Structures are given as C-alpha cells and as structure tokens.
C-alpha cells in the first residue's frame, strides 16, 4: 500500500496505535509482517539515534518506503526523537509522514519557539508533528518514573506550538527491560480532558499488558515501543547462537529473531486495538 498518513492512522483508531522503532532491516520486516498478521495499521519509527547508528537516514528510509509499499496493511513512517532541524527537513524530503520534534532538553520558551517553527514548516509540507514538553525534563528525565506532565502546562504548550500530538510523562521511563512501570491513570484521564490532541506514551516497554490496556482506555492513543521488541528479537538470536555455536551464517539467527519479533508485534497490536476489558 502507499505510505499512510500518520494523522489518519492515529485519528481513525478506536483505541491504541502501535508505533515501533526499527534499526535493522529484519526489524522493519518484523514490524510490517506483524501488522499484517494482526491485520492492523502500524507506525514504523526511525529515531535520530538509529540514524546516528546507521550513519545516514537515506538507506533505511528508502528500505522502509519500499517495504511499506509492499505491505498489505496501512503503515506510516515517523521520525522519532529528532533534535536536529536538518534531520527533520531531510526526513520530510525522504517522504516521512510525521516527525517527533524533541525540544524537551530546552528551556520552556525556547522549546515552544523551536517546536512552533518546526510544526509550521512541517505543516506547510503536509507532515504531522508530535512534540514533548521541556519544562518537566528531557528524553530520559521527562519519562522518568517520578516525572509528571501538568495538564494545564500541556494544554498551553499545544496551543502555543500548534502540534498534532503530545508526548506526556505519566510514570513510564525509556529503555526499561522489566515491565514494572506504574502509570498514573488518573493523570492520563486529566490530560485527555485538558489536551485537544492525541496523547503519546513513550517508554512503553516498561509497562505490562494490563496496564497498557488501561492506559489506552484512559486516553493514550499512540504507544511508542522499542526496547521490549529488542528484547524479544535479541533473546531469539541469542538462543540460536548459543545452540549452534559453530554456525556462521547470520540468517541462521536473524530469521528466528525476526519471526519472534513479528509475533510480538502482532500480539501487541491486537492488545492495543482491543476495546475496554
Ligand atoms: O520513542 C520511543 C519509545 O519511547 C521507546 O521507548 O524503548 O522504552 O519502549 P522504550
Ligand atoms: Zn521515546
């Protein structure tokens, strides 16, 4: 299918939408195959950190565009946690359908000014924009267990910047390898009532299945997940490498890794897309 609009996927979802990060071609394939297995729309995310690892945006972006064009379900392409304006512009030129501008390391006024400017430029190019508050902390700070987004500040930030979605801090934390985060469901409901755009949960890997479902029903819409899928992918690869210590063909361990991630993507999309339990 042609690239889907991120805004359309998010606004037409009855419940939660999965947004999954990819660094490797096998992970891109796993996300799209998992979405096909669940018969669900999906958002493919490439982060600024992933671009730094690869050394360039172009090749992985081109692979994502080609793979999405071959997919049987709607898929959007999102630039995640971008702090560099030049990278936002490159992503838009590469056909990304949305970007997250992350000015959360900046003081409030500067974050508002830069986010507003980025949102205006992206909107002129038909691209959907997610942002994050700065006054409550940075990528790791804002999504640390003790940090919370104030609903009034969140509403003011959205009004001042014109963004299409907002990442909020409600108890999750990036890169958790155990799913033990406790979310503030009451705060999610308050944010949902105060903020006129979809809410985004970052650091979803640390949140267990039941709590994720409750977060979606309380008002979270876009669910960003990376580490949990890396855990599943790497465990399958590790198991194969351990059981076949003399094998050298990377396909031997990347195939089971890709399969395991595909099944977990499908399971997660079904979970997020379910109605109230
Ligand atoms: O933006 C990406 C997500 O927030 C991923 O966080 O690796 O903790 O799931 P996670
Ligand atoms: Zn994040």
Percent of the chain with pLDDT over 90: 91
Backbone phi, then psi, for 125, in 5-degree steps?
A: -105, 15
What pLDDT, on a 0 to 100 scale, did the predictor assign at position 138?
Answer: 38
More confident residue, 144 or 117: 117
Which of 80, 203, 264 has most ligand 1 atoms within 8 Å of CB, for mutation?
203
Note the pLDDT tens digit of each residue in 76-127: 999 999 999 999 999 999 999 999 999 988 899 999 999 999 999 999 999 9
The candidate with the shortest Cα–Cα distance to 22, out of 51, 45, 3, is 45
Q: Is the pLDDT of residue 75 over 50?
A: yes
Percent of the chain with pLDDT over 70: 95
158 lies in a domain? yes
Instruction: Read off the CATH number of the domain in which 140 is found.
Output: 3.20.20.70
DSSP state string for 74-116: -EEEEEEEE--HHHHHHHHHTT-SEEEE--TTS-HHHHHHHHH
Note the pLDDT tens digit of each residue in 202-215: 999 999 999 999 99
Q: Is the pLDDT of residue 134 over 50?
A: no
What pLDDT, on a 0 to 100 scale, did the predictor assign at position 277?
Answer: 60
What pLDDT, on a 0 to 100 scale, did the predictor assign at position 70?
Answer: 98
What pLDDT, on a 0 to 100 scale, did the predictor assign at position 143?
Answer: 59
Task: Pick the residue whose CA is nearest to atom 2 on ligand 1.
Answer: 224
Cα of 223 from ligand 2 centre, angstroms: 10
Q: Is the pLDDT of residue 15 over 90?
A: yes
Which of 175, 178, 206, 268 has most ligand 1 atoms within 8 Å of CB, for mutation?
175
**Structural domain boundaries enclosing 38:** 6-271
CB 223 within 8 A of CB 204: yes
The candidate with the shortest Cα–Cα distance to 176, out of 150, 202, 210, is 202
185 C-beta neighbours (distance < 10 Å), count: 17
Cα of 20 from ligand 1 centre, angstroms: 8
| Atom number of ligand 1 nearest to Cα 81 | 1
277 lies in a domain? no
198 C-beta neighbours (distance < 10 Å), count: 20
95 lies in a domain? yes
276 lies in a domain? no
261 lies in a domain? yes
The candidate with the shortest Cα–Cα distance to 82, out of 94, 66, 98, 67, is 98
- Output the ligand 1 site: residues, CB below 6 A: 21, 80-81, 174-176, 202-205, 224-228
Backbone phi, then psi, for 155, in 5-degree steps?
A: -65, -40
| Atom number of ligand 1 nearest to Cα 176 | 8
Number of domains observed in the structure of the chain = 1
Mean pLDDT of 127-143: 66
pLDDT band of residue 147 (cuts 50, 70, 90) is confident
């Amino acid at each position: 299918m042609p690239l889907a609009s991120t805004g359309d996927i998010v606004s037409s979802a009855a419940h939660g939408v999965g947004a999954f990060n990819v660094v490797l071609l096998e992970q891109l394939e796993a996300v799209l195959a998992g979405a096909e297995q669940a018969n669900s729309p999906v958002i493919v995310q490439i982060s600024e950190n992933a671009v730094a690892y690869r050394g360039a945006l172009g090749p992985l972006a081109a692979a994502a565009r080609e793979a999405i064009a071959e997919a049987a379900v709607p898929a959007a392409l999102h630039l995640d946690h971008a702090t560099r304006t030049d990278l936002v512009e490159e992503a838009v030129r590469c056909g990304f359908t949305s970007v997250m501008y992350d000015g959360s390391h900046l003081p409030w006024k500067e974050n508002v000014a830069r986010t507003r400017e980025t949102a205006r430029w992206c909107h002129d190019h038909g691209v959907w924009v997610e942002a994050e508050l700065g006054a409550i902390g940075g990528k790791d700070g804002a999504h640390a267990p003790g940090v919370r987004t104030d609903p009034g500040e969140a509403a003011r930030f959205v009004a001042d910047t014109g963004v299409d979605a907002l990442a909020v801090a409600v108890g999750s934390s990036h890169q958790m390898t155990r799913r033990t985060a406790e979310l503030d469901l009451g705060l999610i409901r308050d944010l949902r009532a105060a903020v006129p755009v979809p809410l985004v949960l970052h650091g979803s890997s640390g949140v267990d299945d039941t709590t994720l479902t409750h977060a979606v029903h309380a008002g979270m819409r876009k669910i960003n997940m990376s580490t949990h899928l890396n855990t599943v992918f790497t465990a399958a690869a590790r198991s194969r490498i351990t059981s076949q210590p003399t094998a050298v063909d990377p396909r031997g361990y990347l195939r089971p890794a890709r399969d395991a991630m595909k099944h977990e993507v499908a399971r997660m999309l079904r979970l997020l897309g379910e109605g109230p339990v």
